Amino acid sequence: MSGDAVTLKAFDAAGVVELFVSWRNLFVEQREFLIALDGKVGDSDLGITMAKSFAAAAETVLAEGDSSDISRLLRSAGIAIARAAPSTMGTLTATGFLRASNAVEGRKILDTVALSDFWKAYRDGVAERGKAKVGDKTLLDVLDPIATTMRTQASMAAAVPTALYAAAEAGATALEATKSMVAQHGKAAAFQQKTVGHQDAGATVGYFMIRRMAELVVVD
């Protein structure tokens, strides 16, 4: 479990605020791990970028509060991340939230169907902005199975906890699979075969996000 005091019955506006606070705490906790992981075949700045990104996002949504609507909170978070961390990963993360914001416009609660729309939009935004495809050893290699699993769970009318835990399990499996891939993007691409055996740092971020989201919901 996350170790955070809060558990959520639903991802309403208040729940989304709490989610960003928990993501902020998570990426503070994982900052050094991500720095070390990224440093194996990258430039070691991922932990710093993610900590800055989610600190800015949490500060922004806390300031707006739960009187705001979910779509606006996600949009504001994306804008805050874009400003705080204008690096490649910061830009991809911001794009994901901005696309997700449009996908859940008008929703008062993120049920399984809305969460499926959220993750599909997040994945598609990252894929388009990063110009990556599945198998390139990037964040997308975890986002795609998360989005696909959420779509399947929504079609089965699964409860939110069930759907999120299934997506987190799919993400964990996908993250492990990145170890056998050869990096095709960013600084890691310069290492080519040396990247084999290492899990992708960006994909790790995606897995951390879905795992924390699953950890925060109350299981009925």
Amino acid identity at 25: N
Residue 217, helix vs strand vs coil: strand
Per-residue confidence band for 3, with pLDDT thresholds at 50, 70 and 90: very low
Q: Quick one: angle between helices 201-216 and 88-103, nearest 10?
A: 40
User: Does pLDDT of 109 surpass 50?
Assistant: yes
Amino acid identity at 111: D
User: Does pLDDT of 116 surpass 80?
Assistant: yes
Quick one: how far is CA 89 from the chain centroid? 11
DSSP states of 134-188: TTSSSTHHHHHHHHHHHHHHHHTT--HHHHHHHHHHHHHHHHHHGGGS---STGG
Dist. CA 159–CA 152, nearest whole Å: 12
What CATH fold (topology level) applies to the domain 13-216? 1.25.40
Per-residue confidence band for 5, with pLDDT thresholds at 50, 70 and 90: very low
User: 27-75, pLDDT tens digit by residue?
Assistant: 999 999 999 998 877 677 899 999 999 999 999 999 999 899 999 999 9
User: Does pLDDT of 80 surpass 60?
Assistant: yes
Task: Rounding to the nearest 10 degrees, give the CA dihedral for residues 94, 57, 27, 213.
Answer: -80
Which pLDDT does position 142 carry in this prediction? 97
User: 154-171, pLDDT tens digit by residue?
Assistant: 999 999 999 999 999 999
Dist. CA 45–CA 145, nearest whole Å: 26
User: Does pLDDT of 141 surpass 50?
Assistant: yes
Phi then psi for residue 8, to 5 deg, are -105, 135
Which pLDDT does position 6 carry in this prediction? 56
User: 9-26, pLDDT tens digit by residue?
Assistant: 779 999 999 999 999 999
Which pLDDT does position 196 carry in this prediction? 61
Percent of the chain with pLDDT over 70: 88
Residues 210/96, Cβ–Cβ less than 8 Å: no
Which pLDDT does position 44 carry in this prediction? 77
Which pLDDT does position 193 carry in this prediction? 54
Q: Which residue has the tokens 């990104």?
A: 53
With 0.85 as the threshold, say if the pTM is over it.
Answer: yes
User: 178-213, pLDDT tens digit by residue?
Assistant: 987 876 655 555 555 555 657 899 999 999 999 999
CB atoms within 10 A of CB 73: 26
Beta bridge partners of 217: 8
Q: How many helices (H) and strands (E) does the chain have?
A: 9, 0
Dist. CA 59–CA 134, nearest whole Å: 33
Compute the radius of gyration of the chain from its Cα atoms.
16
| The two structure tokens encoding residue 116 | 């499926």
**What is the residue-averaged pLDDT of the chain?**
90
